């Protein structure tokens, strides 16, 4: 007999934890499944902070305007308004729950980041904001008796019954065997897919599983072509691409080429504070111009004590590679960082499949448009995680608590197949090949020829017997590539060398992908909008 709970939350980052807390407030049983340890998520690695209009010099309207400008014409205005208006009260809630944001003289301190018109970024312990938020949320969630955490439980697929999502199939962490868990509804908060690229700032768990599972079950995904590449990841041979926060440039860090020349002013009037997509492409252009594989982030003009205090984690990490950020220029280059696209949702986290909700990076609310404004991701996860939890609790209470009467139907419709259990060597080889193809062919600079070459290889790989985890990984990469091939313009984080101009007349639309259908377009992310095939 399958296990039962009221609600399943997949993921324990800011969106998943906030959704679980909201669900538990109703007295519902909530099971949180995590692929790794409970506190391992993209949220934990968020250094720069969380954007919110709370300072005396700021306004919600200015935050809204900056977000819309960064999104390159594709932000959903209603979603942006919800995020910036609801954000302050949810931040205050975090503070009430013990989150220790940095202060001076008892007052919250705010910093500046690229494309923000005001200093509105809250940070904690200098550059450990995400880690501090996760700590506070886990503490709050553990105080709810109805929330159960199951760590090291890799979810493989969604279970369907009568056209509804009614649970998941996951690998039991104790016996490493498949197990089913049934529920009223599932809230996806599984994060992004940065690991499908060779160079990424994301942790190993960010493989796009939630997107792949939702797609396989029949949910619609949107805007998968928009992948944000962070401009400044530590570029040392043999070392992980450790993120060097946007806030380092916000505090006065300078980008220099191998000759020591400051170069960003040649590419954009805001220089180092230009939007991330522009900085990333500028770095690539400068590396090509100077025939090098790196540029340098220079913090040496800043007061050393301030730098060590403001960026303690970055300072200590760089010291392990014999780099002192107060005296040494840091070798950097871009790396994949954030997925603007994902599972298509409305303003309350509802996906296009009944019984399925999504929040955080796995979801596409339209908040980020074609290019995420720095430090908006944590705020989006916080706000929409709470909204998804609230909506699921209110709406799915109508679903029966017990499942025994539906066992036969469940057996007919659930997704049991995990594919052939490929060897670890095969799975690793597939992942390595996909990651390299995505970086080289579907990366910062793309073209019809490069994307098609990647898709041809993906098709060949797909013919091999693959375990479900490998197939999910390949499917997410394929969806990103297909969407990038479909959009014949350059917009935000998506840059086509064969279509370098932005085309608002024809392409100011969202891409929509779903199983068994060609890519279609929608002027709105609202489910009731008309979707016309291109």
pLDDT tens digits, one per residue of 332-342 = 999 999 999 99
Examine the pLDDT at 65 and tell me if it is beyond 80: yes
Which residues, in sequence order, are bridge partners of residue 531?
Answer: 522
Q: What CATH number did the domain enclosing 250 receive?
A: 3.90.700.10
Q: Is 303 within a domain?
A: yes
309 lies in which domain range?
227-337
Q: Look at residue 237 and tell me if it is in a domain.
A: yes
Predicted local distance difference test score (pLDDT) of residue 478: 98
Number of separate domains in the chain? 1
Work out the burial of residue 269: count CB atoms within 10 Å of its CB; fewer than 13 is exposed, 13-18 middle, 19 or more buried. exposed
Q: Does 285 map to a domain?
A: yes
What is the spatial distance between Cα 512 and Cα 344, in angstroms, rounded to a whole number? Answer: 8
More confident residue, 532 or 185: 185
Tokens 């908040």 map to which residue? 367
Whole-angstrom distance, CA of residue 477 vs CA of residue 481: 6
Residue 410 lies in a domain: no
The verdict on residue 508 lying in a domain is no
Tell me whether residue 137 is in a domain: no
Res 402: pLDDT:
47
| CA dist., res. 383 & res. 374, Å (int) | 16
Which pLDDT value is given to residue 423? 59
Q: What is the DSSP letter of 200?
A: B
pLDDT tens readout for residues 232-271 = 999 998 888 899 988 899 899 999 999 999 999 999 999 9
From 141, 172, 196, select the one nearest 33 (Cα to Cα).
172
Distance separating alpha carbons of residues 156 and 178, to the nearest angstrom? 9
Range 280-291 average pLDDT: 95
Going edge to edge, which strands form the sheet with 7-10? 147-150, 30-33, 7-10, 185-188, 356-358
Least confident of 5-14, 198-207, 298-307, 424-433: 424-433
Distance in angstroms (rounded) separating the CA atoms of residues 270 and 262: 13
Task: Classify residue 376 as exposed, middle or buried by CB count within 10 Å of its CB (0-12, 13-18, 19+).
Answer: buried
Task: Quote the tokens at residue 185.
Answer: 């509804």
Domain presence at residue 408: no
pLDDT at 47: 55
pLDDT in tens, 112-159: 887 899 999 999 987 788 889 999 999 999 999 999 999 999 999 999
Residues marked active site are found at 276
193 belongs to a structural domain:
no
User: 168-223, pLDDT tens digit by residue?
Assistant: 999 887 877 889 999 999 999 999 999 999 999 998 889 999 999 999 999 999 99
What's the CA angle centered on 347, arms 341 and 348, to 5 degrees?
A: 110
How much is the pLDDT for 237?
87
Q: Across the chain, what does the average pLDDT equal?
A: 90
């Amino acid at each position: 007999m399958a296990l039962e709970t009221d609600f399943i939350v997949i993921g324990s980052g800011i969106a998943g934890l906030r959704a679980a807390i909201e669900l538990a407030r109703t007295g519902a049983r909530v099971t949180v499944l995590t692929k790794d340890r409970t506190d391992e998520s993209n949220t934990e690695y968020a250094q720069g902070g969380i954007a919110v209009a709370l300072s005396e010099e700021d306004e919600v309207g200015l935050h809204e305007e900056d977000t819309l400008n960064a999104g390159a014409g594709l932000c959903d205005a209603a979603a942006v308004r919800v995020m910036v208006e609801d954000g302050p009260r949810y931040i205050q809630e975090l503070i009430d729950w013990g989150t220790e944001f940095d202060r001076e003289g008892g007052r919250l301190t705010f910093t500046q980041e690229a494309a923000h018109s005001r200093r509105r970024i809250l940070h904690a312990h200098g550059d450990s904001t995400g880690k501090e938020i996760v700590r506070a949320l886990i503490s709050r969630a553990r105080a709810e008796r109805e929330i159960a955490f199951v760590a090291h439980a890799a979810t493989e697929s969604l279970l369907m019954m009568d056209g509804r999502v009614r649970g998941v199939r996951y690998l039991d962490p104790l016996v490493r065997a498949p197990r089913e868990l049934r529920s009223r509804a599932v809230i996806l908060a599984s994060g992004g897919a940065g690991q499908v690229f060779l160079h990424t700032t994301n942790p190993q768990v960010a493989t796009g599983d939630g997107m792949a599972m939702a797609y396989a079950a029949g949910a619609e995904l949107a805007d998968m072509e928009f992948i944000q590449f962070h401009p400044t990841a530590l570029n040392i041979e043999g070392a992980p691409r450790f993120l060097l926060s946007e806030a380092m440039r916000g505090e006065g860090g300078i980008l220099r080429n191998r000759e020591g020349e400051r170069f960003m002013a040649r590419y954009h009037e805001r220089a180092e504070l230009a939007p991330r997509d522009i900085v990333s492409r500028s770095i690539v252009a400068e590396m090509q111009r100077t025939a090098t594989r790196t540029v340098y982030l220079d913090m040496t003009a800043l007061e050393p004590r301030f730098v060590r205090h403001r960026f303690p984690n970055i300072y200590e990490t760089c010291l392990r590679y014999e780099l002192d950020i107060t005296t040494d220029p840091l070798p950097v280059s871009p790396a994949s960082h954030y997925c603007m696209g994902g599972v298509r949702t409305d303003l309350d986290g509802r996906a296009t499949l009944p019984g399925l909700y999504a929040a955080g990076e796995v979801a596409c609310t339209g908040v980020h448009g074609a290019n995420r404004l720095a430090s908006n991701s944590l705020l989006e996860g916080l706000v929409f995680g709470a909204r998804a939890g609230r909506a699921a609790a209110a709406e799915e209470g109508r679903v029966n608590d017990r499942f025994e009467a539906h066992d036969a139907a469940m057996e007919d419709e659930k997704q049991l197949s995990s594919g052939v259990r490929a060897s670890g060597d095969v799975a690793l080889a597939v992942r390595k090949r996909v990651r390299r193809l995505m970086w080289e062919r579907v990366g910062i600079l793309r073209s019809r020829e490069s994307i098609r070459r990647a898709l041809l290889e993906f098709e060949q790989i797909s013919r091999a017997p693959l375990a479900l985890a490998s197939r999910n990984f390949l499917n997410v990469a394929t969806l990103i590539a297909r969407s990038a091939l479909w959009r014949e313009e350059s917009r935000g984080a998506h840059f086509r060398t064969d279509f370098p101009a932005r085309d608002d007349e024809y392409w100011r639309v969202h891409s929509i992908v779903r199983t068994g259908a060609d890519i279609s377009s929608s002027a709105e992310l609202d489910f009731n909008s008309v979707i016309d095939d291109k």
